[in-house]
Structure 1
Amino acid sequence: MILIECNNEKISRDTINQFENENKVKLTVKYKQFLLEWNGGYPSASTFKISDKKGYSVINVFNGIGDMYDNLEKVINIYEYRLPNGFIPIADDSAGNVICLGTNESYYENIYFWDHEQESENPDDMSNMYFLANDINQFLSMLHASLEE
């Protein structure tokens, strides 16, 4: 089981509902559970495979809700016109890429890697998006402490 180091304030379902309303986004049930338990933070195991071609990356931090540096609302606003429609950035890696949660019907619950070095002028171009997992729980189970694991 992965542990996440986090000094962020615990949040409630009401806080999540308010966040969804203010940001016009519908978070997935599993991601809401993640926020209720951890509300962002630094994972104890952070290495994950993007693809055979792209290799591996390392999570820097999961974004949370509230008054913090890695604030989910702030990060959503930064990437609003850069990510394909229906994706929100829930974490970033050490190279400036983001890990995204699908929030629309086609990609709902899916976790994707967004490669900023392949960013297109058209934000809905999915050529720089790499499927990672069916949901946040599956993604968390894929994280390793190092490449050797």
Structure 2
Amino acid sequence: MKIEESSIVLPLPTEAVIDIEESYWKVKLPVEYRKFILKYNGGIPTTNVFSCNAHEYVIERFLCILEDSEHNELGMYDIDVVLAQIEERLTDNEDLIGVDLLPIASLFGGDFLCLNFKNDKNYPTVGVWKHDESYELEPIFFEGFTSFKEFSESLVE
């Protein structure tokens, strides 16, 4: 997968910042995704169309990890900012501490590409969360890929 270099959101997160986020989210990010966000934080892929559940989706941009989203012009794409807006619609467990679905990319039309930790906290799958069909404690999510690596390989030019 290629990323438009000029679209990367700075400053890039550090390993320590990602560790803090993982602790907050109560998940361990896949190695491939961790490497990706350390290098391409919030970037826009040059190939941005993928298929999932017999539909095509367009990636607007990957979400980023920022220490200070309030003072960054692209702070609205920070994962924590997105989570704050939609987290009650990302799980069916009102007692959940952490995340089941972690949004990692904004898709055209308001949907999000997510890492799905619900079935396996160590090996999340990747798919699409549907914003217009999801309600509080009733997420609609379509599996698409067995891993972030498989997803990123699908975006090869």
- Which residue does 2:77 correspond to in 1? 70
**Which deviates the most, 57-66 or 132-141?**
132-141
- Which residue does 1:86 correspond to in 2? 100
Deviation at 1:104, TM superposition (A): 4.2
Deviation at 1:139, TM superposition (A): 0.9
- Which residue does 2:96 correspond to in 1? none
Report the secondary structure of 1:9's partner residue. coil
CA spacing shift, 1:122–1:69, aligned 2, 3 Å = closer
Task: In structure 1, give the amino acid aligned to 2:137.
Answer: N
Report the secondary structure of 2:110's partner residue. coil
Deviation at 1:129, TM superposition (A): 1.2
- Which residue does 2:42 correspond to in 1? 40
Task: In structure 2, give the amino acid aligned to 1:113.
Answer: V
Q: What TM-score comes out, normalization by structure 2 length?
A: 0.77
For the 8 Å contact 2:9–2:64, the answer to whether it is kept is: no
CA spacing shift, 1:22–1:129, aligned 2, 3 Å = closer
C-alpha RMSD of matched pairs (Å) = 2.2
Deviation by residue 1:35-61 (Cα, 9 ceiling, x = unmatched): 111112211110011222xx2110011
Q: What TM-score comes out, normalization by structure 1 length?
A: 0.81
- Which residue does 1:119 correspond to in 2? 134
Distance in 2 between residues matched to 1:20 and 1:136, nearest whole Å: 16
Uncovered stretches (5+) of structure 1, i.e. residues with no partner: none
Task: In structure 1, give the amino acid aligned to 2:64.
Answer: G
Choose which of 26, 39, 42 in structure 1 pairs with 2:28: 26
**Runs of 4 or more consecutive aligned structure 1 residues displaced over 6 Å after TM superposition:** none
- Which residue does 1:135 correspond to in 2? 147
Give the % identical residues: 26
Choose which of 80, 84, 99 in structure 1 pairs with 2:113: 99
Deviation at 1:6, TM superposition (A): 1.1
Report the secondary structure of 2:89's partner residue. coil
- Which residue does 1:14 correspond to in 2? 16
